[in-house]
Amino acid sequence: MPRQVSVFAENKPGKISRVTEILSRNNINIRAITISDSGDYGIIKLLLDKPDQGNECLKSEGIASTLKDIVSVKIDDSPGGLHKAASLLAANSINVEDAYGFTIREKNQAVFVFQVDDVPLTEKLLTNAGFELLSEGELYLL
Amino acid sequence: MYYNSEIETMPRGDIEKLQMMRLKKALNAAASTQYYSRLYREAGIDVSKITTFDHMQELPFTTKNDLRMSYPAGMVAVPLSETVRMHASSGTTGKSTVIFYTRRDIDQWADQVARAMYSTGARKEDILQNMMGYGLFTGGIGLHYGAEKLGCLVIPSAAGNSLRQIQLMQDFHPTIIHITPSYALHLVEVIKGQGIDPHSLKIKKAYFGAEPYSNATATKLEQLWGVKAYSCYGLSEMNGPGVAFDCVRQAGMHIAEDYYIPEIIDPETGQRLPDGTEGELVLTHINREAMPIIRYRTRDLTRIIPETCSCGKTHRRIERIKGRSDDMIIVGGVNVFPSQIETVIMNIPEIGNNYQIILEREEGLDRMHIKVEIYSKMFKGDLKALQKLNKDIVEKLRALIIVTPKVEFMEPGSLPPSEGKAKRVFDNREI
At B92, the pLDDT band (50, 70, 90 cuts) reads very low
CA A89 to centroid of chain Cα atoms: 17
Q: Give the three-state DSSP class for B66.
A: helix
The answer, yes or no, to whether residue A99 has pLDDT greater than 90, is no
User: Which of B370, B411, B414, B415 to mutate against chain A (most A CBs within 10 Å)?
Assistant: B411
Tell me the mean pLDDT in the region B145-156. Answer: 98
CB B401 within 8 A of CB B90: yes
Min Cα–Cα distance to chain B from A38, Å? 8
- Residues of chain A numbered 101-130 and touching chain B (CB < 8 Å): none
Question: Could A38 and B375 be called an inter-chain contact, meaning their C-beta atoms sit closer than 8 Å?
Answer: no
- What is the average pLDDT score of chain B? 92
Tell me, yes or no, if B375 comes closer than 8 A to chain A by beta carbon: yes
The 3-class secondary structure across B171-208, one letter per residue, is HHCCCEEEECHHHHHHHHHHHHHCCCCHHHCCCCEEEE
Question: Could B379 and A10 be called an inter-chain contact, meaning their C-beta atoms sit closer than 8 Å?
Answer: no
Lowest mean pLDDT across A60-64, B26-30, B102-106, B417-421: B417-421
Tell me the mean pLDDT in the region B21-47. Answer: 96
Tell me, yes or no, if B382 comes closer than 8 A to chain A by beta carbon: yes
Min Cα–Cα distance to chain A from B161, Å? 29
Contacts made by residues B194-203, CB under 8 angstroms, sequence distance 24+: B194/B163, B194/B166, B196/B166, B196/B170, B198/B224, B198/B225, B198/B226, B199/B225, B199/B226, B201/B169, B201/B170, B201/B173, B201/B226, B202/B173, B202/B174, B202/B175, B203/B129, B203/B169, B203/B174, B203/B175, B203/B176, B203/B177, B203/B227
Tell me, yes or no, if B417 comes closer than 8 A to chain A by beta carbon: no
Residue B386: name the closest of B420, B357, B409, B419 by CA: B409
Tell me the mean pLDDT in the region B293-317. Answer: 96
Question: Could B379 and A9 be called an inter-chain contact, meaning their C-beta atoms sit closer than 8 Å?
Answer: no
Write the residue in A36, A64, A97 that is nearest to B411 by C-beta: A64
Question: Could B383 and A67 be called an inter-chain contact, meaning their C-beta atoms sit closer than 8 Å?
Answer: no
Tell me the mean pLDDT in the region B167-181. Answer: 96
Lowest mean pLDDT across B78-87, B142-151, B244-253, B324-333: B324-333
At B90, the pLDDT band (50, 70, 90 cuts) reads low
Percent of chain B scored above 90 by pLDDT? 73
Tell me the mean pLDDT in the region B369-379. Answer: 91
Tell me the mean pLDDT in the region B215-228. Answer: 92
Backbone angles phi, psi at B371, to 5 degrees: -95, 125
∠ CA B212-B214-B215 to the nearest 5 degrees? 135
Structure confidence at residue B423 (pLDDT): 77
Residue B103: name the closest of B125, B81, B119, B135 by CA: B81
Write the residue in B383, B387, B412 that is nearest to A62 by C-beta: B412
- On chain B, the residues whose CB falls within 8 A of the CB of A8 are 374, 379, 381, 386, 409, 411-412
Q: Could you tell me the CA-to-CA distances from B320 to A18, A31, A117, B245, B302 in Å, in that order?
A: 49, 63, 59, 10, 7
User: Which of A16, A41, A115, A116 to mutate against chain B (most B CBs within 10 Å)?
Assistant: A41
Structure confidence at residue B421 (pLDDT): 56
ipTM of this complex = 0.83
Tell me the mean pLDDT in the region B210-218. Answer: 83
Tell me the mean pLDDT in the region B365-380. Answer: 90
Question: Could B379 and A64 be called an inter-chain contact, meaning their C-beta atoms sit closer than 8 Å?
Answer: yes
How, if at all, do strands B127-130 and B176-179 pair? Answer: parallel
Tell me the mean pLDDT in the region A31-40. Answer: 88
Question: Could B379 and A65 be called an inter-chain contact, meaning their C-beta atoms sit closer than 8 Å?
Answer: yes
- What is the average pLDDT score of chain A? 90
Structure confidence at residue A135 (pLDDT): 86
Question: Could B380 and A65 be called an inter-chain contact, meaning their C-beta atoms sit closer than 8 Å?
Answer: no
Question: Could A42 and B379 be called an inter-chain contact, meaning their C-beta atoms sit closer than 8 Å?
Answer: no
User: Which of B409, B410, B414, B415 to mutate against chain A (most A CBs within 10 Å)?
Assistant: B409
Query: Which residues have C-beta within 8 Å of that of residue B416, sequence separation ≥ 6?
Result: B354, B422, B423
